Amino acid sequence: MPFETVNNITFHYEYYGVDNAPVVFISGYTCDINLWRPVADAIETNHKVLIFDNQGIGKTQDHGETLTVSLMAQNIAKLIQALGIDRAVVVGYAMGSSIALQLAHDFPDMVSKLILLSPVLKWSEQAKNLANRLFKLRQSGQQEAFIQLLYDCAFGSAFKSKVPLQAFTEMIEGASDVQSIEDQARQLHALELFNSHSWIKSLDVPVLVLSPDQDQFATVDDGKAVAEATLGKQVVIKDCGHAALVEQPDKLISIIKQELTH
């Protein structure tokens, strides 16, 4: 269980695979090191992969400071430097895509390509309202209402047709609690403040945008705006909601593998 301390932050991370073509995976809001593990494991025979717990979740330890996407990107850059990673492909999900964009802007020499699942230029009022409703339900201990709203807004119709609410409830209740209410609030604050409008068009890096077609947090139009602003390419993932890595992991692995060969 490796740890690396940079900027007085002790990151919990895993860095493995062949010593070639590094890929850095950045998880999203409320997601820990395990989010990207299936994808990282699928490509480790051809790449060196980095996954980690971001600030405010899992086993990574900081001092409880106010978080912003910019600050999180700066500290991830320090982790990347400390591990000797040079010119990586950076893959982000949701708020992790926001951090990936910020990283490419602030540290362009570190990033060779961006692969962004559910990215936005800034988080919409709809997305922030949903995130706040979920947070308040969890904060107040209304577990049943929290699970119902999460099921309704984070997953697509194909997933719901296969996994009924009761089965989903059992999945959620069996999951380990890896984030405190206080740390979730810190990450939510970072998400709410993110806005790339003033600098997004200055990015000079290849960008692939992956947009689930039923995503209520980062819509297809949100993804299209990111692709257009960065002169990138957008791929729409059919029959899928915001939780694409749970709903269609094999599809995402296939797309990311193919993109990494270009």
- The whole model's pTM is what? 0.97
Nearest to residue 261, comparing CAs of 117, 116, 115? 115
The helix or strand, by DSSP H or E, that contains position 43, with its residue range, turns out to be: helix 37-43
**CATH superfamily, domain at 3-260:** Alpha/Beta hydrolase fold, catalytic domain (3.40.50.1820)
Does the pLDDT value for residue 175 go beyond 80? no
Q: Tell me the three state secondary structure of residue 15.
A: strand
Is-contact 15 37, C-beta < 8 A?
no
Q: What is the CA radius of gyration of the chain?
A: 17
Q: Does the pLDDT at position 173 exceed 80? A: no
Q: What is the pLDDT of residues 114-138, one digit of tens each?
A: 999 999 999 999 999 999 999 999 9
Ranges 136-150, 161-175, 177-191: which has the least confidence: 161-175
Write down the pLDDT at residue 262: 78
- Structural domain spans, the chain: 3-260
Three-class DSSP category at 38: helix
The rounded distance, in Å, linking the Cα atoms of 141 and 135 is: 10
